[in-house]
Amino acid sequence: MPDTSPSVVRPRGRPRKDAELAPTDKVMAAAIEAFSVHGYNGVSLKSVNDQLGVSRNLLYQRFGSKADLWRTAVDWAFRPFVEYLTEVDDEAADPMIRLRMLIRNFIEYSATRPYLARLITTEGAAVTDRSDYLYRSYIRPVQRRFVLVFEQLRAQGRIKNIPPEIFYFLLTSGGTAPFGQRGLVSRMAPKLASPDDHQVRLYAENVADMLLNGLSLPSNEPGPRER
């Protein structure tokens, strides 16, 4: 994937003390959290500066504008996600097993990074240059990976003729919901409010069971080709 990150503006001369107090990962984590919770219009360079406890000019010096900060933070958050799903995807596996593992890996990665689902929900509410960038750069490559497995399973007559977009929305908006809605989850399912690895794995397997059972054709039911 080509590097579409914006160039980062750096001041000349010796690094300021602020730069030492706010390393890049800390800045990116604060920015992506702010954008995912408050939305683009609810965030300013000043508000992120204040959250970091640094001078008001730090982010302006580094990024130049809120738009550049947003794109840099999105790349920081989403590029490793796409790379991870690509790396762990076993394309040689049986398609049904491969689909289960994609579901599980998607949920387990998202569980510790709730800002991913929140940001997509926030930005996906309107057609903007930002939502277009998210879709082209990160959502479409992930969706395409799932669609390829769907096509294999359909060709083998093993799943119902359900549009993959329905499956994708159920997984991404429904399957990851507990990790981005901690306030609600703390009342409905407290264990998922601060889940450990075992609880996340169990949850991911339950989601995979529900999605795959809904997709799968019984062995004696005709596949799409036979109808």
pTM for the model stands at 0.84
Which pLDDT does position 194 carry in this prediction? 74
Q: How is residue 174 written in tokens? A: 């429904």
**Selection from 39, 219, 188, 55 nearest residue 120 by Cα:** 39
Which pLDDT does position 226 carry in this prediction? 42
Complete domains list, the chain, with CATH:
16-77 (1.10.10.60), 89-221 (1.10.357.10)
Q: Which residues of 51-73 are buried (b: 16+ CB within 10 A; e: fewer)?
A: ebebeeebbbbbbeebebbbbbb
Which pLDDT does position 21 carry in this prediction? 58
Ranges of H-type helices in the chain: 17-21, 24-38, 45-52, 58-63, 66-88, 95-111, 115-123, 129-134, 140-155, 164-169, 177-180, 182-188, 197-215
Cβ atoms within 10 Å of 119's Cβ, excluding its own? 25
**Exposure of 187 by Cβ count < 10 A (0-12 exposed, 13-18 middle, 19+ buried)?**
exposed
Distance of CA 174 to the CA centre of its chain: 13
Three-state secondary-structure class, residue 217 = coil
**Selection from 71, 57, 81 nearest residue 7 by Cα:** 71
Assess contact for 74 and 119: CB atoms under 8 A. yes
Which pLDDT does position 48 carry in this prediction? 94
pLDDT along the chain (227 residues), means of 10: 44 47 87 96 94 87 94 97 97 97 96 94 95 97 96 95 94 90 86 83 95 86 45
- Helices 197-215, 95-111: axis angle to 10 degrees equals 140
Rounded-to-integer distance, Cα 125 and Cα 207, Å: 25
